[in-house]
Structure 1
Amino acid sequence: MRIKITLRCTSCGNKNYISSKNKATHPEKVETMKFCPKERLVTLHREE
């Protein structure tokens, strides 16, 4: 049961990445450090 998720930058608010996760094994929200092209920095991105 994989679902598509979008990752939003926590500092600027842009939707930068699309990913997927297995909701049965990982019910919590995903948080990863990713590159934000608007700010040109590695920032925290959270599942929307």
Structure 2
Amino acid sequence: MSSKRKIALACSVCGSRNYTITENPNRTERLEVKKFCKYCNKHTLHRETK
């Protein structure tokens, strides 16, 4: 039985971890997505953390 691992997306401006996604073992480089940060109050680049 395989378990789904959770990965956090951290804001590149303030560093807060606002979003979680399930891990994709096929992805080699870190995911980078523009998402809304409630602490910065604007859309910023969010990066996958380990």
Q: Where on the TM-score scale, by shorter chain, does this alignment land: which range?
A: 0.7 to 0.9
Structure 2 unmatched runs, 5+: none
Instruction: Please identify runs of 4+ aligned residues in structure 1 that moved more than 4 A.
Output: none
Aligned pairs, number: 47
Structure 1 unmatched runs, 5+: none
**Aligned Cα RMSD in Å?**
1.5
State TM-score, norm by structure 2: 0.80
Alignment of 1:1-48 (within 5 A): 3-23=5-25, 25-48=26-49
Larger Rg: 2
Give the share of equivalent positions with the same residue, in percent.
Answer: 40
Structure number with higher strand proportion:
1
